[in-house]
Amino acid sequence: MNIKGQAIYAQMQTMATQARSMSAELKPVNQLTEVNPSQSDFSTLFKNAINTVSAVQAEAGQLRNRVEMGDPNVSLVEAMIAAQKSSLAFEATVQVRNKIVEAYKEIMSMPV
């Protein structure tokens, strides 16, 4: 074997070793807890989104209060941007809720 062939062989051996170590770390199929882990429970996703909106609103409220109290570390611009983010997040949440209610009504009106 020439030097180039030996280098390729060494790379192949390294990749084979890595593949073996990776396959040892994988769980067998029968031990998996979820069929598709990329799919999450919708209620969990919605709850997380609502918690995020709540946190954004709380942050906007805190910044607004700090500006009103005259805190020199917070600018009016930061408070206004936070308020707009909060408003936008709330409006998006309301729109999602409206679509969910609309879909629920449509499903409930379907004949069985």
Does a structural domain hold residue 98? Answer: yes
Domain that holds residue 82: 39-108
pLDDT of 6 reads 66
Does a structural domain hold residue 70? Answer: yes
Does a structural domain hold residue 11? Answer: no
Does a structural domain hold residue 1? Answer: no
Does a structural domain hold residue 15? Answer: no
Give the total number of structural domains in the chain. Answer: 1
Does a structural domain hold residue 65? Answer: yes
What is the rounded CA–CA span in Å between residue 6 and residue 11? 9
Got the DSSP string for 24-81? HHSPPGGG-S-S-TT---HHHHHHHHHHHHHHHHHHHHHHHHHHHTT-TTS-HHHHHH
Question: Taking the mean position of all CA atoms in its chain, how far away is CA 27?
Answer: 25
pLDDT of 32 reads 46
Answering whether pTM is above 0.75, one says: no
Closest to 64 (Cα-Cα) out of 90, 52, 82 = 82
- Tens place of pLDDT per residue across the chain (112 aa): 566 566 676 766 776 677 666 555 555 544 545 555 556 687 888 888 899 999 999 999 999 999 999 999 999 999 999 999 999 999 999 998 899 999 999 999 988 7
